[in-house]
Amino acid sequence: MMLKPPALLFGVPIDDLTMATTLDLVAELVERGRADDRVHQIATVNVDFVVNALFQNDLGDVLRRSDTNLADGMPIVWAAAAAGMPVAERVAGSDLVPLLAERGEREGWRIHCFGSSPDVSARAIDLLRSRHPGLDITAESGPQMSDVRDIDDSVLDDIAARNADILCVALGNPKQERFIAAHRARLGNPVMIGIGGSLDMLVGHRRRAPEWMCRAGLEWAYRAGQEPGRLGRRYARDARVFGPRAARHIRIARRTHGGSGLSFTVGEAVAVTGAPTVRRAAEWQLAAEAIAQSRPLEIDLAGLAELDIRAVAQLAGLVRVARRAQQPHALVNVGRALAQYAMATQSEEWICEMTEN
């Protein structure tokens, strides 16, 4: 599938995908994972994710290192567009799960769901099997756990024994993202996705907001009305933090529009240097495809005074492609422009992440 640069919000990459291209990407990652014994983590990023990542450094690390981050929330889509880095559409985890089941029946995938309550997980699996009789899907609720990194070996052994192509982890954010990051190597599933409360919505345990509320970015209000005790305080905090931070991020992004871009040279390695203007997406795509096909990545940003926000996102995208392809990447001479962006958006950790293979 065609690679595209991600958006970048507070140092968290958000991939430019539609629901259709997401399903195609999952198919590609399953195939690659089975062929090369690789594990890929997918996160469905909403406002709560990026707010949590601002205050929990380990969660920010997980989201920066994940293979794919989906825009699960209209505020994420709007903020990316306002910052000059539009993504195609919202890709909600609650919509993705039934479509994965439909595609899984056709492709012959084995899907295993871990988390949620015993009643909800059992009802969800029965429902999906009734809709897709040829689907190979299983589920277990799992034990209660306060620290997902400290879990009994027998639980992990049972998940691994399922040998699923796709593991859907329904523990909610940030538990599910931490669970996947901590145990992905041991479990070995080609694709691992955090799905939050998708199973609850699938069986009607929690009701979906009307479509017009989803399009208007008001799904959070509908959900808070159903569970005010559990979600009211969380959503109030998210709104209080995300709104001002997003506005500041957008101001910084717009101020840097027209700054230096990146130049891509494909040879034995993909060399990235500063350029007078922002390069077209087609040039970025050629560079990304070369990295995906085994070229190492070399970045030298010496002397840049101000880097266009779209170029920063392109840079983050190339690093993620290199990591996904397990290719070496090196960032030297960080440059004033990138350092200033990182400080202004409180995403200094992102530069540190880029310098680590």
What would the pLDDT profile of 82-93 be if each residue is shown by its tens digit?
Answer: 998 999 999 998
Q: Express each pLDDT in 137-160 by its tens digit.
A: 999 988 887 888 888 899 999 999
| Separation CA 103–CA 40 (nearest Å) | 18
Q: Are residues 148 and 179 in contact, defined by beta-carbon separation less than 8 angstroms?
A: yes
Q: 320: which 2 tokens?
A: 């993620």
Output the CA angle 90-96-100, nearest 5 degrees.
150
pLDDT of residue 80: 94
With a pLDDT cut of 90, the percent of the chain lying above it is 43
**pLDDT tens, residue by residue, 40-60:** 999 999 998 999 988 888 888
pLDDT in tens, 74-114: 999 999 999 989 999 999 988 999 999 999 999 999 999 99
Q: Specify whether the CB–CB gap between 316 and 262 falls below 8 A.
A: no
Q: Which helix (H) or strand (E) holds 86?
A: none
Tell me what pLDDT residue 150 has.
83
pLDDT digits (tens, 9 = 90+) for 300-314: 887 777 778 888 888
Length of the chain: 357
d(CA 32, CA 292): 12
Name every residue whose Cβ is closer than 8 Å to that of residue 89 and which is 6 or more positions away in sequence: 18, 19, 71, 77
| Average pLDDT over every residue of 24-47 | 94
Q: List C-alpha distances in Å: 193 to 40, 258, 334.
A: 9, 37, 33
Average pLDDT taken over every residue of the chain = 85
Work out the angle between the directed axes of helices 118-131 and 93-107 (0-180°, nearest 10): 50
Residue 220's pLDDT is 56
**CA-CA-CA-CA torsion sign (241, 208, 128, 14):** negative
pLDDT of residue 26: 97
What's the Cα-to-Cα distance from 198 to each of 94, 166, 175, rounded to whole Å? 4, 15, 15
Q: Is residue 230 over pLDDT 60?
A: no
- For the entire predicted model, the pTM comes to 0.89
Which band of pLDDT confidence, cut at 50, 70 and 90, is reported for residue 224?
A: very low
- According to the model, what pLDDT value does residue 282 have? 84
- Band the pLDDT of 349: cuts 50, 70, 90: low
Q: Is the pLDDT of residue 226 over 60?
A: no
Q: Does position 256 have pLDDT exceeding 60, yes or no?
A: yes
